[in-house]
Structure 1
Amino acid sequence: MDIRNLEYFIEVARRKSFSQAAEAIHISQPSISRAIKELETQFGITLFYRNTKYVELTDAGEFILEQAQQVVSSFENISTKLEGLTKMQAGKLHIGLPPITAVTTFAHLLSAFRKAYPKIRIQLYEFGPKKIETSIQDGLLDMGIFTPDESTELYEKIWFEKDPLNVIVHPAHRLAARDIINYQDLKDEEFIIYNSDYKLYDIIVSGCKQAGFTPKIALETSQREMMTQMVATNYGIALLPSKICKSLDTKTIVSKPFIDPKFCLRLALVWKKDRYLSHAFREFLTFVKKEYGVAEAL
């Protein structure tokens, strides 16, 4: 069995697309298709359901995926240990990032890590928080950035971001002249809000309910640009992390601090508890902990 066929199979499962998998690993789509066909012939099973929009693992494909990940991880571990004999630091990591939140701090860390470990490749995937969490559980991502449930014992995590939420409004909005905004100011407003994939949806709705009202939601979205565009047309108000607000055009959007200090975005670097940690994974965690280890108390 060619180990590359298993790697191609895992990439297609991760991307749910033959064409996107081929583009990600820089080979032709026919080569990807041929590799999957060889595996299906070898095992005598169908690995994917296929249609014009996406591909999905069959039950047999799910089973093969779990075994393939173990085989590829073991193979990569052998390679990494051999490279270690010549004092080379190498490997690959798959990390999921949410599209709507500001991860500027983490981006600086990734840049610093790449300079320190140029042979360790980091592949980034932009997914919603729920898909990041599912992909970590399925082994398709090594780690991801989201707000984990603190009561769960499924994950290990390093907290690295705590960013208060600001209220953003149109310059002509009645709240634009306020120095600070409280819950009662928002009682009659139309909210442009993160969709329910995001922990901030729960934080905002829960905070408003505790203040005695249910927010009027005009739009739920996973697109930050959609949120800011709707606010810029005075369609409603939104709450965004303060670091994002600093980059907004003050001619079209006004940002005001919110009075509740608990009203904030908290992000952690999360990975599955008790999973196998490759050499690259361990090096990355060591690097991150040097930067954010004290952030556990956030």
Structure 2
Amino acid sequence: MDIYHLEYFMEVARQKSFSKAADAIHISQPSISKAIRDLERQLGVKLFYRSNRHVELTDAGEAILEQAQQIVSSFSAITARLDGLTKLQTGKINIGLPPITGVTTFARVLGDFKKEYPKITMNLYEYGSKKIEQAIQEGLIDIGIICAPPEESVIYEMIFFPVDPLWVIMHPEHRLSTVQSIDYRELEPEQLISYSNDFSLHDIVINRCRQEGFQPRIVFETSQLELMTQLVAASIGIALLPSKVCRKFDGQAIVSRPLQDQTLGIRLALCWKKGRYLSHAVRELLSFFNTNYNLPDDGSGI
């Protein structure tokens, strides 16, 4: 039995005629008659009383008609849903974003994507890079932006962003605010406001300081960029952030200075798990991002 058998059966019941049903659904009368005979044989019951003038449903036919209508309706809903997915009219994408990215090129692309595919739902989750990696591996999110990814990975597929060098942010009256650039060794006596240890930037800064022979004096760890900048503005300590984030500060409450070592920075990548099934919606977003993320750099990107 297939869905067409039930549709033919419903049309004959509606038309009370094999010939009229065949005309209505544009198939030959022998074909529809054979389909009904096959259905009766599979079900083991007679579905119609046949006469020269018209056909009538049997009791069994009446009972089966109600079920057939429900089955065909459900099947139509399924095919409509799949059609929507394959044509990218519907779907859902779970995306992990670290708060350090701020207002990003990726965020602009998400906005453009949403305009083009308004029925696709995008669920955004704010996590540190390490938690994003874990969520991707566990299948809790489809894609995410992570910090300091390896160039090659057996776990992830990745689209890389350009490296963004780290700068130091501080209160305008801080002693380092008078210099043009800062050497890492000058950070040794400073109190540092850091991202918490579920952020890759936390490890990047600590490891770089250790390379210079000192352990940074971390006085506070947070997952919130706004709280970090408020503490810096209150002269509690200094912090290291990507240069494009630092350029957004107005200079009255917070000033920023580049590090002399511009090779150290944040490398972000959009990643997803290798070998994992990606929905039509996710694949289209990745294609859309590949095509559109290289926008002119206006300082608001990653």
**TM superposition shift of 1:205:** 1.0
Number of the residue aligned with 1:240: 241
Structure 1: 4+ residue segments shifted above 3 A = 76-81
In structure 2, do the counterparts of structure 1 residues 216 and 146 end up closer, same or farther at CA, with 3 Å as the change threshold? Answer: same
Letter of the 1:230 partner, please give it. L
Letter of the 1:186 partner, please give it. L
Number of the residue aligned with 2:279: 278
**TM superposition shift of 1:121:** 2.0
In 2, the alpha carbon distance for the partners of 1:226 and 1:88 equals 39
Number of the residue aligned with 2:23: none
In 2, the alpha carbon distance for the partners of 1:156 and 1:79 equals 31
Number of the residue aligned with 2:189: 188
Letter of the 2:223 partner, please give it. S
**TM superposition shift of 1:203:** 1.0
Q: Residue 100 of structure 1: SS of its match in structure 2?
A: helix
**TM superposition shift of 1:148:** 5.5
In 2, the alpha carbon distance for the partners of 1:160 and 1:256 equals 22
Letter of the 1:286 partner, please give it. S
Number of the residue aligned with 2:253: 252
**TM superposition shift of 1:161:** 4.5
In 1, the alpha carbon distance for the partners of 2:166 and 2:267 equals 10
In 2, the alpha carbon distance for the partners of 1:125 and 1:112 equals 19
Gaps of 5+ in 1: 1-75, 294-298
1:102-113 equivalences under 5 Å are: 102-113=102-113
In 1, the alpha carbon distance for the partners of 2:92 and 2:126 equals 17
Number of the residue aligned with 2:127: 127
1:84-163 equivalences under 5 Å are: 87=87, 89-147=89-147, 149-150=149-150, 152-163=153-164
| Equivalent pair of 2:192/2:239 in contact (CA under 8 Å) | yes
**TM superposition shift of 1:130:** 2.4
Deviations 1:254-283 (A, max 9, x none): 111111122211111111110111111111
**TM superposition shift of 1:103:** 4.7
| Equivalent pair of 1:77/1:278 in contact (CA under 8 Å) | no
Q: Residue 283 of structure 2: SS of its match in structure 1?
A: helix
**TM superposition shift of 1:125:** 1.3
**TM superposition shift of 1:248:** 2.0
Number of the residue aligned with 1:170: 171
Deviations 1:161-216 (A, max 9, x none): 53211101111111011111111221211111111111111111111111222211
Using the size of structure 2 for normalisation, the TM-score is 0.66
Number of the residue aligned with 1:5: none
In 2, the alpha carbon distance for the partners of 1:84 and 1:100 equals 32
In 1, the alpha carbon distance for the partners of 2:211 and 2:142 equals 36
In 1, the alpha carbon distance for the partners of 2:155 and 2:84 equals 32
**TM superposition shift of 1:79:** 5.6
> Percent identity between the aligned chains?
51
In structure 2, do the counterparts of structure 1 residues 274 and 88 end up closer, same or farther at CA, with 3 Å as the change threshold? Answer: closer
